[in-house]
Amino acid sequence: MINSKIIVGKDSISKLNYEGFYNECKSILVIYDILSEINSTKSKIKKAFGKDIKITYFKVKALERANTEIVDSCLKVLKDISADLIICAGTQISHNVGKAVKYILTCNINSFGDICDKKEDIKNLEQNNDIKLIFITDASGNHQQILTGYFEVLDNKSNTLYRFNKQCTIPYAVLVDEKVLDKLSNTAKVGIRIASLIMGLIVITNVTNQQEKIAAMTAMDICFDENSNLSNLLTAEMYAGYDFLNLKDNVLNEFILSAIDETGEIYSLILLLTMQKSIKNIVSSLSAEDIKLLGLPFKIENVQNDDDWREKFAGIIENKLKIYFDDKDIPKKLNEIGLNSKQIEDIFEELNSSLGYSENLAKLKDICYINY
């Protein structure tokens, strides 16, 4: 069950005024990057709150990693101004920094280094902390984790990347404001649409509880609408990602995160490259009940039976993938970033050592070699 309030549409940021009043805010910390300045998010935040609430800005570098130094600096600013609300605007780094700061506050420790060095028994320190997180999206993608408690922080001292998924860092609200979203090419939108579809399909073929499928089904309904605008597609990415990242023993997600470290590419692209030749296998796993729930997406016509539906549905997705990868608007390098065998072996050696050998990991490795 999604625990965040999601506000989508034009001038969504203006509704921050209500959030500030409702939560009796006096001091707000805004974590932002240069993209938030370019697309006017920063100025809209200031305008939304007016003059009665103190706003302090903490700038991070767009598209870089959150690290211990940045997190601890941000924490100091937050404590100095006695902030009672955190707003994260921009790319994934601002979200990661915000979640990391919230986690430190919840653990009631002095720095992120205390977590990395394991100086404290963190589990015993976790407590309630009522400071709220509000996220504002942009068009950079990588929003599949935004509704979850997932975040990453690089420990500069040991050059170790830490990944967390904590209930306390789930955002109070997420705003998808149409007026501040950068324009994306139709090809980029296709990539978000198909990646969200695939995440949704994997979810509904791997869980039986209908409550655990709701977000994924909602995401897929948005993706089936060919007229869905960018704000709706980003919302679909968040919904699909919520259920997908919460799948138990999700080794595919672990592989994608490791592949991102190797290639520097975005989450949705790695997902599409990995699964592009496995669409029929995923679709063939859909039950008759799931097919009824999905209906006739993309105007599928003249369906004879469930197997006929599966064949036509898989064909539509495969065709969309072909168009996506063949489109002239995609830089050639994106068709060539496939990992080489040494990189794949290194990733799976790391996964085996951290997760332990499993049949799912072995199957995933075979899939990766087929696609890369």
Contact status, residue 201 vs residue 286, Cβ threshold 8 Å: yes
Distance CA 141, CA 236 (A): 11
Task: Say what the pLDDT of residue 119 is.
Answer: 56
Task: Say what the pLDDT of residue 160 is.
Answer: 87
Contact status, residue 40 vs residue 194, Cβ threshold 8 Å: no
Contact status, residue 283 vs residue 201, Cβ threshold 8 Å: yes
Order of all β-strands in the sheet with 27-32: 5-9, 173-177, 132-136, 85-89, 27-32, 54-59
Task: Say what the pLDDT of residue 9 is.
Answer: 87
In single-letter form, the type of residue at position 131 comes to: I
pTM, two decimals, is: 0.90
Task: Say what the pLDDT of residue 73 is.
Answer: 96
Task: Say what the pLDDT of residue 364 is.
Answer: 94
Task: Say what the pLDDT of residue 121 is.
Answer: 57
Find all residues with CB under 8 Å of 189, minimum gap 6, and list them. Answer: 230, 233
pLDDT along the chain (372 residues), means of 10: 88 87 88 87 88 91 88 96 93 94 90 72 65 89 89 89 91 91 80 95 90 90 92 94 92 93 87 93 94 91 93 95 80 71 92 90 91 77
